[in-house]
Amino acid sequence: MTTSTAIPTARQRKSRTRTTNVSSKPPILVSQLPPAMVQLTHRAEVLACPACDTWCPLTLDKGTKRWKLSPHHTAKAGTPGARRCGNSNRLVVIDISLARLQERQVEASADAAARRPTTVLKKVKTPVPPAITQLTPAAPTADTARAAFYSHSTRCAGRKDSTTRDAGTTGCAGARLCTDGARLYATYLQLLGQEPERRAARARAEQEQRAAEPEQAKKRLQRRADEWSAANVDALIEKRRWAQHEHFTGDLVEPIRGAAVPKGARPIGTVRSTEDVLAENPIRKRQQLSA
C-alpha cells in the first residue's frame, strides 16, 4: 500500500452529503447562537461554525433526517495544509421559528447601528503659506540695489580686510571695496543705467492704457445698450402698467397708497378766497349779508 506524500488541501464544502456519520458532540441550538451567525433561507441554509467561524451549509442527515453541519476544513477551499474541523457532521437543532429569527436579526442590526460611531468630518486644513525661500522675488530696482549696498557697507565697516590700500582702513569704508561690496555696487550701477529705459517703458504702458480707456468705455456702453434692447424694455413697462391696473390688483401686489382723500378737498398750498371762507361759515355769511 502506497502512502501519498501530497500536502492535503481544503476541499469545497458540499451542501448535500450522503454520509451517515454524526459527531459525538452535543447538538448546536440555533436559539443560543448570535443572529448574525445563522441564515435559514430556503434551500440555502448556512451557519457559521462556532469553532472556526467558517460559514458551512446545513445538510440533512440521511439516517435521522436532522440538520447537521457539513464536513469542512478550518481554512478556505484550496488552502494547503488544511485541517478538518471538529464540528464536522455535528447536529444542529433549529428550535426557533423563521419569523422570530428575522426579528432578532432586525433588532441586532438596529442595535449595531446605534453603537456605530458617527461619521467624523475632517476639519479643513488651513493652507500653509509658502516659505520665504519659495516666494518669487520682486524684480530688482536701482533703489533696492542702493539700499543693499549701503546696508552691506555699514556692516562691513567693522571687519578687517586685507585687500584695502591702507593698513589702517577696514572693509568697504576704506579706499577699496570688498568682493561683496564691489558686486553690489556694480549691480547698482547697472540698474541705475537701466532706470531711464524702465521708466520710459512704464510711461508708454500707462499712455497706452489711458488711450484704450475711452474705447473700452464705449464698448461697455454699447454692450449695455444691446442688453437693454434684447430685454424689450417697452414690453416690460407695459406689463408693469397692466399689473398696477385696478382689474389686476386682486391677483398681483397692489401699489403703495396713502389715506383716502375726501372729495372736494383743496390741494395743499392753494390760497383760500373770501368766498370760500364765507361759504364754509354760514354765520359769517349771514352777518355780511345783513350789513
Kindly report the average pLDDT of the chain as a whole number.
76
Positive or negative CA dihedral for 201, 203, 207, 210?
positive
pTM over 0.85: no
> What is d(CA 39, CA 92) in angstroms, rounded to the nearest whole number?
13
271, pLDDT greater than 70: no
Locate 93 and state its grid cell.
437543532
pLDDT above 70 covers what percent of the chain?
71
Listed as own residue / partner, the contacts of 4-10 with beta carbons closer than 8 Å and 24 or more positions apart are 7/80, 7/81, 8/80, 8/81, 8/82, 9/77, 9/78, 9/79, 9/80, 9/81, 9/82, 10/73, 10/74, 10/75, 10/76, 10/77, 10/78, 10/79, 10/82
Chain position carrying cell 458540499: 14
Q: Which helix (H) or strand (E) holds 44?
A: strand 44-48
The CA distances from residue 33 to 38, 42, 105, 107, in Å, are 8, 19, 11, 15
Q: Give mean pLDDT, residues 55-63.
A: 83
Q: What is the pLDDT of residue 170?
A: 46
Q: Give the mean model confidence (pLDDT) for residues 232-254.
A: 62
**What is the reported pLDDT for 194?**
87
CA–CA dist 93, 284 (Å, integer):
120
Range from 11-15, 71-75, 204-208 carrying the lowest mean pLDDT: 11-15
**Is residue 179 scored above 80 in pLDDT?**
yes
User: Of 93 and 43, which is predicted with more confidence?
Assistant: 93
